[in-house]
Amino acid sequence: MATHKLLLLPGDGIGPEVMREVEKIVGWFRKRGVGFETETDLVGGSAYDAHGASISEDAMKLAQAADAVLFGAVGGAKWDSVPYAVRPEAGLLRLRKDLGLFANLRPAICYPALADASSLKREVVEGLDIMIVRELTGGVYFGEPKEIVTLEDGSQRAVDTQIYHTHEVERIARVAFDLARKRRNKVSSAEKFNVMKTGVFWRQVVGRIHKNEFSDVELENVLADNCAMQLVRYPKQFDVIVTDNLFGDILSDIAAMLTGSLGMLPSASLGAEDPATGRRKALYEPVHGSAPDIAGKGLANPIAMIGSFGMALRYSFGLLDEADRLDRAIASVLASGTRTKDIAAPGANAVGTQDVGDAIVKEL
């Protein structure tokens, strides 16, 4: 029986407490004979506090060797003034870049039981099921120059650079079209081609891949600002949205917030398939952040983190039955009303982080 190597990087804020619940689930599967080997390390502010870097070289080695990385969350006001190069987010960005995790899959699903938790009208979001495919290793996140320069007169100039290469846009487009084929067969590609050259380029390359390889899939080009509007107005018009790193950051957060289920949404960041082994590097993380305001209080909803492990079962280990089983367990716990404060029904008692994890294990 194969052993799957998992690296757990709980990070900051509520990261550790939601990761603890995942460990219970991993433990349950292990007892039932699924071979998981886990290691745990620091990332983000907690790594900075321990050794002055937001991820250590040792942790990077573990990440490179792992079959999948489970990532909690990083950041918090506590580290707002640490040097830029070692800020908590740098650890996450390095993981994405060094592991080549170019494809970030962010499903935005509105669970019927939670539709009322949305700030949008029930009929606008009920049954919503969008997949945002965000390019994750290029664009303005990594382009150079990226600097603040002091000029002769003492004033300053800051610069960031958005760069995209043909192969970067091609491969993310393929991921989006592939996914659409398994869903409702529609891709909306978002950019600002009316203002940005990378937008013109994005539209050209996506259009070419569509024409040559995926002409059976419906493709729609949409301006990123209009896409944000349309997400608010009538989100069910979308199936798969593919977009660059920065627009993806914002659009996926909007989509997640629409659902009323922010504490429920997992994400997967995938690398290219190794042609020799057929395996791809992968990192799984909840869409929500480190929520320092509620950290350590046992209030956090662990379902996004547990669901991220479910995505790992599915995408990294091909354990589809196990993934389905976990999804069903989550669904029945939700249906039973065992919910954290963020998603508790009006008037119902909210339970703690651990209660949800325990209930899911019991349900399994």
Q: Which residues are known catalytic residues?
A: 141, 192, 225, 249, 253
Q: Which helix (H) or strand (E) holds 327?
A: helix 320-335
Site string for ligand IPM, 180-219 (x = CB under 6 A): --------------xx------------------------
State the Cα–Cα distance between residues 176 and 9, nearest whole angstrom.
27
State the Cα–Cα distance between residues 294 and 291, nearest whole angstrom.
6
Cβ-based nearer residue to a copy of itself, 102 or 164: 164
Site string for ligand IPM, 16-55 (x = CB under 6 A): ----------------------------------------
Minimum distance of ligand IPM from residue 80's CB (angstroms): 13
The number of residues in the chain equals 364
Q: Which of 55, 92, 255, 312 binds ligand IPM (CB under 6 A)?
A: 92
Angle of helix 353-363 relative to helix 15-31, nearest 10 degrees?
Answer: 20
Site string for a copy of itself, 52-91 (x = CB under 8 A): -----------------------x--------x--xxx--
For residue 149, report the phi and psi dihedrals to the nearest 5 degrees. Answer: -115, 135
Task: Select the binding partner of residue 332 from a copy of itself, ligand IPM, none (C-beta < 5 to 8 A, by kind).
Answer: none
State the Cα–Cα distance between residues 160 and 354, nearest whole angstrom.
42
Q: Which amino acid is at 12?
A: D
Q: Which helix (H) or strand (E) holds 320?
A: helix 320-335
Distances in Å between the Cα of 135 and the Cα atoms of 29, 37, 141, 208, 236 are 32, 30, 10, 17, 22
Site for ligand IPM in 123-182 (CB under 6 A): none
Contact region for ligand IPM (CB under 6 A) — 15-23, 28-36, 89-97, 173-181? 89-97
Query: Interface residues with a copy of itself (CB under 8 A)?
Result: 75, 84, 87-89, 93, 119-121, 124, 140-141, 143, 146-148, 155-167, 192, 194-198, 200-202, 224-226, 228-229, 232-234, 246-247, 249-250, 253-254, 256-258, 262, 289
Which residues contribute to the site for ligand IPM (CB under 6 A)? 75, 89, 92-93, 194-195, 225, 249
